[in-house]
Amino acid sequence: ATPTAFMAATGRGAQLGVLLRGPEALERLRHIDTVVFDKTGTLTTGRMTLAATTAVAGEDAGEILRLAGAVEYGSEHPIGRAVAAAARQAADGNPMPPVTGFRAVPGVGVHGRVDGVEVAVGRPRSGSPLPDVLRRALDDAHAAARTAVVVEKDGRPVAVLAVGDTLRPSSYSAVRHLRKLGIEPILVTGDGPAAARAVAEQVGIDEVHAEITPEGKTAIVAGLRAEGRRVAVIGDGVNDAAALASADLGIAMGGGTDAAIGAADITLVREDMQAVVAAVQLTRRTLSTIR
């Protein structure tokens, strides 16, 4: 295509709220045949709220929320922000306790030291046993299509926090329209299978990969590319950055982390999933005819 065609397409893309890193992004967008969607913060708004706190006997749910909220204070993950916000609200103006040795592990959770206790908040470890009351809380959360995270004090599971999220209004129609364009949607998430399946069903995605680590996301993209597919990845998190960079085309949500936006070729400024469809249609129309 001519430089003029690229400039026109770039300008129209900007009107759609699609920000391109360079002209190659347009050309690659035109040839995409597979889109790998992240779940939390991508197909869903990522504006999560704490729905339930369940503590083991002998532990106070309010105190656990205070500790968990302190550790999540610096977190940029939607789950962490929900936990921190709930804790701040419960603190009623009192300052959050200080945290030392804070660490965030993308796709897993966070940990740090609060009030002399090592506090971890993160995804349930597969294979490690939970007390019955927490196991039931996990099952209840999953039945309600919520994401459940486990709070540990000094390595001992003491509570389950259930957080709820809502679907982005544009996700369903975007998936349907991508299919019509011959593009296959796939869901790849770090979250558990129940929450993953619930969202996939709501938006109409058949292929679902749950409990996938950030490295696992990259491996799935590599596998698809090895089959000869032209793969776009859409994500928002630090956990998506490597997959975004390794795809034929990386698409970041505008409200996502700096890591995701920095690794992507395209940013969806308005977070409207339908803009991806419009942009594909635009490149197929303008770039193919002017060649």
Residue 91 binds which entry of ligand ADP, Mg ion, none, with Cβ cut-offs from 5 to 8 Å by kind? none
Write the DSSP symbol of residue 73.
G
Q: Does residue 265 carry a catalytic annotation?
A: no
Residue 231 to residues 203, 221, 245, Cα–Cα distance (Å): 19, 7, 11
For residue 144, give the 3-state DSSP assignment: coil
User: CB under 5 to 8 A by kind: which of ligand ADP, Mg ion, none does 149 bind?
Assistant: ligand ADP
Query: H or E stretch including 34?
Result: strand 34-37
Q: Which of residues 7-36 bind ligand ADP (CB under 6 A)?
A: none
Q: Which amino acid is at 240?
A: D
Binder to ligand ADP among 108, 144, 145, 208 (CB under 6 A)? 108
Minimum distance between the CB of residue 7 and ligand ADP, rounded to whole angstroms? 35
Residue pair 225/158 in contact by the 8 Å Cβ criterion: no
Q: Which does 255 bind (CB under 5 to 8 A by kind): Mg ion, ligand ADP, none?
A: none
Q: Minimum CB separation from ligand ADP for residue 253, in Å? A: 11
Tokens of 191: 């979250």
| Residues 245-274 contacting ligand ADP, CB under 6 A | none
Which residue ranges make up the site for Mg ion (CB under 5 A)? 38, 40-41, 236-237
How many positions of this chain bind ligand ADP (CB under 6 A)? Answer: 23
What would the two tokens of residue 275 be? Answer: 């803009």
> How many of the other CB atoms lie within 10 Å of CB of 164?
18
Out of 38, 165, 265, 272, pick the active-site residue: 38
The distance of closest approach from Cβ of residue 197 to Mg ion in the complex, given in angstroms and rounded to an integer, is 17
Query: Among ligand ADP, Mg ion, none, what binds residue 218 when CB lies within 5 to 8 Å by partner kind?
Result: none
User: Among residue numbers 220 through 249, which ones bind ligand ADP (CB under 6 A)?
Assistant: 237, 239
Q: Among 80, 272, 270, which residue's Cα sits nearest to residue 169?
A: 272
Strands 184-188 and 207-209: parallel
> Is residue 53 part of the contact set for ligand ADP (CB under 6 A)?
no
138-177 residues in contact with ligand ADP (CB under 6 A) are: 147, 149
Q: What are phi and psi of 214, to 5 degrees?
A: -55, -40
19: tokens are 């920000």
**Which residue from 66, 77, 111, 177 is in contact with ligand ADP, where contact means CB under 6 A?**
77
Tell me whether strands 109-114 and 117-122 are parallel, antiparallel or unpaired. antiparallel
Which residues make up the interface to ligand ADP (CB under 6 A)? 38-41, 72, 75, 77, 79-80, 107-110, 121-123, 147, 149, 189-191, 237, 239
